[in-house]
Structure 1
Amino acid sequence: MMDQLSWKVGGQQGEGIESTGEVFATTLNRLGYHLYGYRHFSSRIKGGHTNNKIRVSTSPVRAISDDLDILVAFDQETIDVNSRELRKGGIILADAKCKPSIEENEHITLYSVPFTEIATELGTSLMKNMVAIGATSAVLDLNPSLFKEVVIDTYGKKGEKVVENNMKAIEAGASFLKDELGFDRTDLFLNEADGHKRMFMIGNDAIALGALAGGSRFMAAYPITPASEIMEYLISKLPQFGGAVIQTEDEIAACTMAIGSNYAGARSFTASAGPGLSLMMEAIGLAGMTETPLVIIDTQRGGPSTGLPTKQEQSDLLAIVYGTHGEIPKVVIAPSTVQEAFYDTIEAFNIAEEFQCPVIILTDLQLSLGKQTVEPLDYSKIHIRRGKLMTDGVGNTEEKEYFKRYELTEEGVSERVLPGTKDAIFHVTGVEHDETGKPSESALNRKQQMEKRMRKLQNLSFKNAIHSVENFESPDVLLIGFISTRGAIEEAMNRLIEEGLSVNHVHIRLIHPFPNEEVFKEMQKAKKVIVVENNATAQLANLIKMNVGFSEKITSLLKYDGTPFLPSDIYSFVKEFK
């Protein structure tokens, strides 16, 4: 019996690979297992190899597994590309249609199952994915009936007959493996799960849900991988709460519409990836100059230009922190789990309104699109803070003076009003302005307004600016990362500790303003520091050197081939480095 299993399905894009993984994973999640899934897919709608690797465990997991137990292959290419991941004793369930073969390997067993033929006999070849799930159920000793609830949820709208045929396909796949091929192995059976109900979602869904729970009622966006799911989720949800989603003509329009909506008083945001953020930079500067709240989601992907739009990378970091022209106060938050993505999105709206500045949530493709088990969210933690927003008028009814929207204050934040507020007329302009918003090129005024804006973030308090795991007082190695590398780092760390190496871990969650003191405290204890990141120029490591120092201690572990870090990548590097 096993506490953990790795399963992958692969084929050509458009063959139902995603739905195969979805039905399999959702069923296991509902049984109480913990899951972590990652899809490899091409940047085209149909065609090209795609696969979905899903890790199933009786305990929480936050990383892709190093190896593979079961490979479900709909074509020969899937075997050629993915069989190297199979561990000793692993198996391949392959569609007989492709006359599957594998180079001589006595440690791997290939079972040829006529997925397509069985599905066609039952009515349509489209059900071959259900036949494959049935074959998998036989390997894991799962009763095919366990999949029925998910099949109903997935195909129920198409009618009872469709549900019935899909269940027959699952049963036929299981029967063929057992009866025709005589499959009788028991070593791949999973230990029983705890049966607890948990959510199963991608990071983008958590962000969208966080925006909704955080009071956002307007999103303007242009579709782009890997951010589009945020917009797709809210298109159906926001109208139920009096909100709306607008698909704009480009990212420039999306950002400026979000600024305008925030100015009017509605919590609003946009979401994009690196290319879209490049187009938004001027508008982000406008939000900073006009002191208008603005939340932006950047889901990083492979660049530059179109680059690798469906692959993992973390190369927008310095552009996000320093990309805008001129100098404005800005906050950049980097969640490392799906749960954090939910709560951090809510907090981003609070910070944006409290400090009247742009707040960027920085994720990456692995976190945004990787699907994982999530413990129930605690809605009692949600608190809406709107900062210095005046809603009852501002006085001065006799003097009829312009409202000092940009009044010089000690903390750098001025009173904000909604358009139409009584006795609150003021100018709004992207040029430098005085306290009432009127354009001004006075050197003294410029100095005062710049200093006023830059004072804002001195009072920023972000809970858990770093996530730290302090196993040792003076560790041999401190591993540092951000966003989706957390799971792989922690898994590698635990393995290294088991082998006698003292290792601590810091994951940076507040990128800007940088948590200098917190990071310094952890770095000074360590003999060596290894910064793990998905880019070619060590952007996070350079940010640390710039803000904290300790250049002599820092070594970078970089990966920029479009694939996420595996725990073994980090484990092997540290072992060789040590």
Structure 2
Amino acid sequence: MRDVTLAIAGSGGDGVITAGDFIVQAAARKGLHAFMLKSYGPQIRGGESSARIRISDRPIYSQGDYVDFLVVFSWKDFNRFLDEIQLRKGAVVLYDEADTTPREEFPIDADLEVEYIAVPFKKMAAEEIKVPLTKNMVALGVISELLRLPLEAIKDAVMKKFGKRKPEAAQVNLQAIDLGKAWVNENLPQGTQVALDAEGSGEPKLVMTGDDAVAFGAIHAGVKVFAGYPITPASPILEFLSKWLPHFGGAVVQTEDEIAAITYAIGASWAGKQAMTASSGPGIALKQEAFGLAAMAEIPLVVVNVQRVGPSTGIPSKSEQADLFQAVGGTHGDVPRVVLAPSDVEDNFQVAVEAFYLAEKYQIPVIILSDQFLGERSETVEADVLFARKRVISRQLAKPNDLKEYKRYKLTDTGVSPMAVPGMPGGQHIISGLEHHEDGRPTSSGTLHQVMSEKRARKLPLIAEESGFVRVYGDEDAELAILAWGSSKGAVREAIERAQEQGLKVKAIVPQLIYPIPEKALDEALKGVKRAVVVELSFGAQFYRYLRAYYDGLPKETYSYARSGANPLLVSEVFDTIKEHAAALGSLQEA
């Protein structure tokens, strides 16, 4: 098989995610494409966890619909992933023989005709390695041998993690891997019906999570201050920047709450430093008033929302695309803002760069609307592609002529006014959340409020015409189009490719700029389209309703495919939607 999807399920402490990380890193070292989606329960510690890994010698855009190879440490824990881990017919299932669940109670449909193999993971780790916690490494040895994964690359990944800091631990883990491999050769010399038949390019690839990529992109863009408060699934951004931003002359502050985080970032930006904060839906809700302050005071700011399932606390460890309305209109008053939506790990890096570019160029707050599916998944990326977009700018400060009779909010054709920072001679001005005159003095004049509202809004058409924010995949002249945004792109793109293989003409349109709507680019992408379907993971069909409300260029025949999140979008459900609407389009044309 040139494309294999495997999953590992167990409890917190079983090392499920660690084993998955090593597999992905090994694949990347061999030049293979790899993708890992980790899933876990809402518990603070312990609870169930799973790693779903897909490996191929071809580009991967989604997690894969069906699992070919499954490792179960605990059937009780696996039961909690039944609606996420769907097995392909004829899949191979390895389970720990220490689990006493009777075979007839295994929660897998008999019609799938899976191949069951009992393996003494726990026993080998405890009795032969003498370290029970190494059962994940024993499993890694078994997996690598059965699937023909690059074993030496896996060992290299283990040495990279433990070799220098914990050489003894590294050796113990390597012994456990070898033990698992030996067990296969002694007990399953015939192998299994599932194996990876892909060599890879030999050119190593980078492995990053989406959260790490957005943090790395912010560093590349010049961020100097990050203020944040821990929240799932955005905390890895805070953790990454805490480790790396000081090396680039920046500072990270973990504040006492979400409001303090955004106001700290606003203050840092006002003082002349490029600044960012990050959170998830509940935390973003708390930041709304301060977000309005950044817009009113025209202070550049980047805010990352790694969406999770809501409302309220919802499902903190799962993904959904239901914060769109919050992003485009979640503050009181008319607040100019930019909303950008990355669609994969590489995109998270590039969108972070673009966010700072737009924030600094237009003195406006920018929201990066990521989600858990993007933020916490690991993916191989190409380094040269990562740095392809280079729109990096520094703070655009007022010039000497601007500082003569300085007007911080001077009326201009673009809506962008000269910005001074503390310490600039002649740059003193009043700043607050109150409506103001050009020099910053507060006002309660309705006439002036209209003038200033128009000034701030003049930035939006210019932002909408910035290039490169709408992607098109598939047949450019297709009469059927799928409109999607954010992390839905992966499943949609693979569904488009499957449809093309079956002779269906269809294309996907994926805007990266959500607000303001890039109307001209969308008009061009939709040229010739007679039927469109908006696909999203939002029970309330927020993207469909948003486009209907704000964009006049949709075809008359535009439909919605929307469902709640938690479970990722499947290629098969998008493909079925394409077939349904392709048939309807054909019937419409015949009539």
1:520 equivalent in alignment to 2:527 = no
Counterpart of 1:14 in 2: which secondary structure? coil
Q: 1:544 aligns with which of 547, 564, 569?
A: 547
Give the match for residue 118 of structure 2: 112
2: distance between equivalents of 1:394 and 1:158? 55
* TM-score of the pair, normalised by structure 2: 0.92
Give the structure 2 partner of residue 76 of structure 1.
Answer: 75
1:283 aligns with 2:290: yes
Q: Does the 8 Å contact 1:226/1:273 carry over to 2?
A: yes
Instruction: Give the match for residue 570 of structure 2.
Output: 566
CA distance in 2, matches of 1:45, 1:472: 47
Is the alpha carbon distance of 1:454 and 1:189 closer, same or farther for their aligned partners in structure 2, counting shifts above 3 Å? closer
- The match for 2:392 among 384, 388, 399 is 384
Q: 2:230 aligns with which of 202, 223, 226?
A: 223
SS, match of residue 205 in structure 1: helix
Match of 2:486 among 483, 487, 510: 483
Q: 1:16 to 1:221 in 2, by over 3 A?
A: same
Pair 145,474 (structure 1): closer, same or farther in 2 beyond 3 Å? closer
CA distance in 1, matches of 2:476, 2:218: 38
Deviation at 1:182, TM superposition (A): 3.6
Matches of residues 53-68 of structure 1 in structure 2 within 5 Å?
53-68=52-67
Task: Give percent identity, aligned residues only.
Answer: 35
* Aligned amino acid, residue 376 of structure 1: A
- State the 1:342 CA deviation: 1.0
Cα distance in structure 2, aligned partners of 1:381 and 1:504: 24
Q: Alignment partner of 1:416: what SS? A: coil
- Deviation, 1:106, is 7.2
Q: Residue deviations 1:117-171, cap 9 Å, x none?
A: 1111212100000000011111123464332211112222453222111111111
Moved more, 54-63 or 568-577: 568-577
8 A contact 2:278–2:304 mirrored in 1: yes
Q: Is the 8 A contact 2:91 2:194 kept in 1?
A: no
Q: 1:123 aligns with which of 98, 121, 130?
A: 130
Q: Which structure 1 segments of 5+ residues have no match?
A: none
Partners of 1:344 and 1:142 in 2: CA distance:
33
Structure 2 Cα separation of the partners of residues 481 and 205 of structure 1: 24
CA–CA distance in 2 between the matches of 1:427 and 1:142?
A: 63
1:6-155 equivalent positions in 2, closer than 5 A:
6-77=5-76, 80=79, 81-82=81-82, 85-99=86-100, 101=103, 102=106, 104=110, 107-121=113-127, 122-142=129-149, 144-155=151-162
Aligned to 2:264: 257
Which SS does the other structure have where 1:98 is aligned?
A: coil
Query: In the alignment, is the contact (CA less than 8 A) between 1:144 and 1:174 conserved in 2?
Result: no
Q: Answer whether contact 1:8 1:70 (CA < 8 A) is retained.
A: yes
Offset at residue 48 of structure 1 (A): 2.7
Change beyond 3 A, Cα 1:454–1:159? closer
Instruction: Give the conservation status (yes or no) of the 8 Å contact 2:234–2:375.
Output: yes
Q: How far apart in 1 are the matches of 2:225 and 2:62?
A: 33
Separation in structure 1 between the aligned mates of residue 57 and residue 100 of structure 2, nearest angstrom = 35
Deviation at 1:379, TM superposition (A): 4.2
> What secondary structure sits across from 2:98 in the alignment?
helix
Q: What residue in structure 2 maps to residue 162 of structure 1?
A: 169
Structure 2 distance, partners of 1:356, 1:404, is: 15
Residues 379 and 574 of structure 1: CA distance in aligned 2, closer, same or farther (over 3 Å): closer
Give the superposition deviation at 1:204. 0.8
254-263 or 340-349, larger mean C-alpha shift: 340-349
Normalising to structure 1: TM-score of the pair?
A: 0.94
SS at match of 1:562: coil
Residues 388/201 of structure 1: CA separation in 2 closer, same or farther (3 Å cut): closer
SS at match of 2:458: helix
**In structure 2, which of residues 323, 330, 333 is the aligned counterpart of residue 326 of structure 1?**
333
Amino acid at match of 2:258: E
Match of 2:589 in 1: none
Q: Tell me which amino acid in the other structure corresponds to 2:494.
A: E
Q: Deviations over 1:515-547 (max 9, x none)?
A: 123223333522321111111111111111122
CA contact (8 A) 2:532 2:558 kept: yes
Q: Compared with structure 1, are the counterparts of its residues 470 and 53 closer, same or farther at alpha carbon in structure 2 (3 Å cutoff)?
A: closer
Superposed displacement of residue 61, structure 1: 0.3
Residues 1:444 and 2:447 aligned together:
yes
Q: What residue is the counterpart of 1:315 in the other structure?
A: 322
Q: Deviations over 1:190-211 (max 9, x none)?
A: 2211111111111111100011
Cα contact 1:14–1:46 (8 A) shared by 2: no
The farther-off stretch of 90-99 and 51-60 is 90-99
Task: Specify the code of the residue in structure 1 equivalent to 2:468.
Answer: N
Report how far residue 395 of structure 1 moved.
5.0
| RMSD, aligned α-carbons | 2.0
Identify which range, 55-64 or 175-184, moves more after superposition.
Answer: 175-184
Aligned to 2:3: 4
Deviation at 1:392, TM superposition (A): 5.5
SS in structure 1 of the partner of residue 334 of structure 2: coil
Q: CA deviation at 1:486?
A: 0.9
Larger deviation, residues 437-446 vs 207-216? 437-446
Equivalent pairs counted in the alignment come to: 571
State the one-letter code of the partner of 1:413: V
The letter of the residue matching 1:48 is G
* Counterpart contact for 2:306–2:371, Cα < 8 Å: yes
Structure 1 residues 111 and 158, CA gap change in structure 2 (3 angstroms): farther
Please identify, of 509-518 and 549-558, the stretch whose mean Cα deviation from structure 2 is larger: 549-558
Residue 203 of structure 2 is matched in structure 1 by 196
Contact preservation (8 Å) 1:144, 1:171: no
